[in-house]
Structure 1
Amino acid sequence: MQRPNGGPRDLTPPKLLKATPENMTRNFNAKSIRLEFDEYYKLQNPYQEISISPAMEKQPEYKTDKKNLVINFKDSLLKNTTYVINFGKAIADVNESNVLKNFTYVFSTGTHIDSLSISGSVINSITQAKEKDATVMLFPLKQDSLLFGKKKPAIFATTDSAGNFSLNNLREDTYRIYALKEASADKIYNDDQELIGFLKTPIKVDKDTSAVQLKLFKQTAEKFRLLSQKRFDPDGKITFVFNKPVQKPSLKIIYPAAFDNQKIVQISNTKDTALLFMRNMDFDSLRVALYDNNKPLDSASFIKGRKEAFTHNITFKYNINRDNKLRPGSDLIVTANFPLDSYNTSLISLKEDSVELNNLTFEKDTTNANAFIIRNRYRAKSKYELVLNEGAVTDIYGGKNKRQGIRFEGDKTENYSILTLKVTVPDATKQYVVEILNEQKNVMRSDVITKSTSLVYKNYLTGKYNLRVIYDDNKNGRWDSGNVRLKTYPENIYPGDKEITLRPNWDAEETLDIPKEVVTP
């Protein structure tokens, strides 16, 4: 015997049973609307989610009455006008919060109901995938500069699970169209972290318009600023987060100036984050200037107690894959979470198949102050055990590690493949960036090309890979975003038309015919 499981989960949003007056009513003259649903519902943020087009000076009053929603108008209605009430995500069921999406109530105070429409789809510029739950917005051209980025739209729709949208019951007019993917759901583009898409050319609606495609992108901030908090991390380092990538970033200690030669700076691969470590922490304040290609961008000040203590627990990472295997022909790289001052080789033990190895070579990693390299002839299928005994490693603060270690295996060359990619370009006067991505959609390698050529990818782990091509219009070797204010589009991306499977110990050959770039008007 067991308790009943409650049945399948409810995935159905509330359904409209009756509207008084009826939806699509002409010669509308009522002071209120009553909507009856088939279940109890909750009304979420009505004054944020619900919009009325054309807008009213006085907001209506929304009242819930069991399974009914009553809308009381507080403003007079214009004559011979079609009104569209868009409920956004305001209506959801009580138990599972299933939202009644793209629900509209339409009426006209005259004999005619506007019936023009715009439909299309929204995609992500980077992934080329359709975007669900994006908001597609219309602003009449004469109001665009006054409303976009300042107030939520009166005309909008949400894309479905296939990334498609439809804006209906539009009056004849000329509009600007945008797509927005945001976390706040206020339907206002006011954050560079939000995804935005648009068409440069206004849409003149005098007939039904279809096949409109909007490409979402994250706009690169126009003005540089630091996003990080002005304080030390608990371990004593300072993390700088930029609001956009910097081409050639550098940091300089401008106070106390004598401490500038005590700093260690690490810049992320994306060039939008910097870590600052200080060898000497004997100061009570610090002022740091940030530069791009030796040009000053910003500065920040930090205050700490001269005797303030920080926690330095040394941990390590290793260049082994998720199966605890070391790539053939590679040396073992040990990377700490702090810059290292020294390591004691007598306290470091490496065993191969339970036998202690004595002829190891240790080197500091000249490209990373946090790492050192253990060189050895690592053999396929051999099992290794590395032990870093207590005190084997000392960081720049004088801290020492606790006993740590790792077990790993030398990987077999048979688990790797060689891919030769024959690339054909459509226009030799233009530049392209070919990228290969793994199953996690991480970019494994990028190649800039200007002519048809062959690219060889050696020693790639067996698995599935995808290709994509950036149409590098400004020839800077990377993808560039667009700008909604300047009405510039992001650079186009061709996602590739097939998945490549690399098999063990296999020399594969594939072709990539880059199509001619399709330019959005």
Structure 2
Amino acid sequence: MLNQKPAFFAKNLSLVIAILIIFGCAAIQKPQGGPRDLTPPKLLKATPANMTRNFNAKEVNLEFDEFFKLTNTYQEITMSPTPEKAPEYNANRRTLQIKFKDTLQKNTTYVINFGKAIQDVNESNVLKNFTYVFSTGPHIDSLSMSGSVINSTTQEREKDATVMIFPISQDSLLFGKKKPSIFATTDSSGNFSLNNLHEGTYRIYALKEASPNKIFDNDKELIAFSKKPIVLTKDSSNIRLALFQQIPNKFRVEKKFGTDGVLALNFNKRLASPSVKIIYPPALNDQKIVEIAKTKDTATVYMKNMDWDSISVAVFDNNKVLDTIYQRKQKKESFTRNLGFKYGINRDNRLKPGMDLSITANLPIASYEQGLMILKEDSTTIQNFTITKDTASTRTVYLKYRFRPGRKYQLTLNEDAFTDIYGDKNKRAGVNFEGDKQENYSQLTLKVTVPEPDKSYVVELLDDQKNLLRSDPITSSTSIIYKNYLTGKYRIRVVYDNNKNGRWDSGNVKQQQQPENIWLYDKELTLRPNWESEEPLAIPQEQVTL
């Protein structure tokens, strides 16, 4: 027995070590997760080399450091000058093969711009503004253009905008019809650079579009241009392009006839003095209700009498007919309506001191029953409130009461409290809110100095979400007082109102009309509780866009 014990322990010790080795090995795993790959493919080798002179090859091979894919190949990739037969692009694992199908011109610099076509396989990281350059002669064109692109209205740098140039001899033939052969995409700071350019005279544009065809073919796209052509004899820098949504050349109306029987008309541009008339059936015109948006680019038409199978509606501006639209329906067609409400309180559910509570329905109101409305103040029912109609809107009424700061209110609109023009009645609704305190509001006096007294300006107040709160046209140095504004952060924007119409006007490429310039005050203004403050605002001289 004494001789067996060491053998027994040795046997079991070997077993334990074997188990530990097995489980220890099983626990060793490749690390999971980790930071996301944000790096696009990188060129390792080009054959022939990039920037080759006296080029005479029939194909080019580009080797990258990782697997990649080509996206929108023949939309994104361009070759300048453009050959009659486009090259063939073949991606295979890490290598891109370019086969030329046409004879190359002698003594010419060629630039192949890949746009956003090259992306890695896993994360689709884009290799932006990658170019392959070569010359069939002893010289490579080396001139460049560089600058920045901003948004006209926000004055912020615009990333991922396409900056393009056309030789002036081809500008009218190509712009808006074919994609450019020379272009670059702005970086995250809105900067661009166009390189390996030949001497010549060019037109330059910037385009921010939803569909990446690099053609300005939609009025909703943002466009920028320079009035003056660029004569390129040396490097050109500090080019500034301001994007804008242009004023359409032709007026159009988009209509939407909802399941509630309301006709919504959307104009493709703002009008000066819009109006709407029902041409047929003529009897409908006198009983219609039309609401024109403050922006004067939409109109909503409510018709109490829905006993018709077709109508004709004309849109006017300054009493001149611009367009006529038609709408059909089944004569006895039924509609679904739900009478709902919005209330005149802020996003914190507070009512501004000294204000009545506005109640705005989604449909015009025909009548209301005050007895079916219950108002409570700190759980106590209030009797001495009144309801009055808004003389400027058929959808709004005001609940008048001496609301007290810091008190909590509950408004209940019982069923049938309101009836719309179609005879529909509301379901039970209501809102809880609080009477706001005066100390939560401030007063700001803006002491404005203008650079040129004979010109017009529009001073605009924006909230921290860049929403326009107030607009004040001025023609001379003055003080603008903002009373009872909530404490918080605000910005000031100034429009150089060249046509003196009291608002910002956009531009038009075809008419060579630039948008009106905007200056954004770089200081953020902070309004503190129960505080009156003054801020000097010296408007700078207008920076004219070329």
Given candidates 208, 228, 242, the residue that maps to 1:181 is 208
Deviations 1:306-356 (A, max 9, x none): 111111011110010110000001100111111111111111100001011
Match status 1:92 vs 2:119: yes
SS at match of 2:74: helix
Corresponding position: 1:314 with 2:339: yes
Residue 54 of structure 2, aligned match among 20, 23, 27: 27
2:248 counterpart (221, 246, 249): 221
1:59 aligns with 2:86: yes
Counterpart in 2 of 1:132? 159
- Find the partner of 1:424 among 449, 458, 473: 449
Please, which of 318, 324, 333 is the counterpart of residue 358 of structure 2? Answer: 333
Q: Which residue of structure 2 lines up, in the alignment, with residue 399 of structure 1?
A: 424
TM-score (norm 1): 0.98
SS of the aligned residue for 1:57 comes to: coil
| Residue 141 (1) aligns with residue 171 (2) | no
Name the amino acid aligned to 1:148: F
| Match 2:321 to one of 296, 299, 312 | 296
Aligned partner of 1:471 among 496, 513, 517: 496
Please give the secondary structure, in 2, of the residue aligned with 1:510: strand
Q: Which residue of 2 aligns with 1:17?
A: 44
Cα offset, 1:497, TM superposition: 2.6
Corresponding residue SS for 1:142: coil
CA distance in 2, matches of 1:228, 1:108: 55
CA distance in structure 2 between the aligned counterparts of 1:236 and 1:75, rounded to whole angstroms:
60
Tell me the equivalent position of 1:462.
Answer: 487
User: Take 2:486 and 2:30, find their aligned partners in 1: how far apart are those partners?
Assistant: 49
1:442 partner letter: N
CA distance in 1, matches of 2:331, 2:202: 60
Q: For residues 4-27 of structure 1, what are the alpha-carbon distances to aligned partners after superposition, in whole Å with 9 as ceiling and x for unaligned?
A: 651111111111111111111111
> Aligned partners of 1:252 and 1:452: how far apart in 2?
43
Q: Which residue does 2:228 correspond to in 1?
A: 201
The TM-score, its normalising length taken from structure 2, stands at: 0.94
Relative to structure 1, is the Cα distance of residues 4 and 505 closer, same or farther in structure 2, using a 3 angstrom cutoff?
A: farther
- SS of equivalent residue, structure 2 residue 286: helix
Give SS of 2:169's match.
Answer: helix
Partners of 2:474 and 2:93 lie apart in 1 by 65
Query: 2:7 maps to what in 1?
Result: none
Corresponding residue of 1:46: 73
Aligned partners of 1:411, 1:94: CA distance in 2, in Å? 56
Deviation (angstroms), 1:227 = 2.3
Aligned residue type for 2:156: A
Alignment match, 2:238 = 211
**Among candidates 453, 467, 491, match of residue 478 of structure 2:** 453
Deviation at 1:3, TM superposition (A): 11
Residue 285 of structure 2 corresponds to residue 263 of structure 1: no
SS of the residue corresponding to residue 245 of structure 1 reads coil
Distance in 2, matches of 1:275 and 1:3, equals 62
Q: 1: CA distance between counterparts of 2:305 and 2:213?
A: 47
Question: Could you say which residue in structure 1 is the equivalent of 2:217?
Answer: 190
Unmatched tracts of structure 1, length 5 or more: none
Q: Distance in 2 between matches of 1:189 and 1:323?
A: 43
Q: Which residue identity is paired with 2:537?
A: L
- Which residue in 1 is equivalent to 2:380? 355
The offset of 1:41, in angstroms, is 1.1
| Amino acid corresponding to residue 51 of structure 2 in structure 1 | M
Q: Secondary structure at the match of 1:214?
A: strand
| Compared CA separation, residues 444 and 3, structure 1 to 2 (3 A) | farther
Secondary structure of the 2:172 match is helix
Residue identity opposite 1:69 in structure 2: L
Q: Distance in 1 between matches of 2:404 and 2:204?
A: 60
1:282 pairs with 2:307: yes
Q: Whole-Å Cα distance in 2 between the matches of residues 220 and 152 of structure 1?
A: 22
Instruction: Sort the Cα spacing of 1:497 and 1:287 in 2 relative to 1 into closer, same or farther, 3 A.
Output: same
Equivalent residue for 2:8? none
Secondary structure of residue in 2 paired with 1:460? strand
Aligned partner of 1:247 among 269, 272, 296: 272
Root-mean-square deviation over aligned CA pairs: 1.3
CA distance in 2, matches of 1:258, 1:65: 70
Q: Give 1:103's aligned residue.
A: 130
Matches of 1:464 and 1:244 in 2, distance apart?
31
**Which of 444, 449, 465 pairs up with 1:440?**
465
**Deviation at residue 228 of structure 1 after TM alignment:** 2.7
Question: 1:259 aligns to what SS in structure 2?
Answer: helix
SS at match of 1:227: strand
Q: SS state of the match for residue 170, structure 2? A: helix
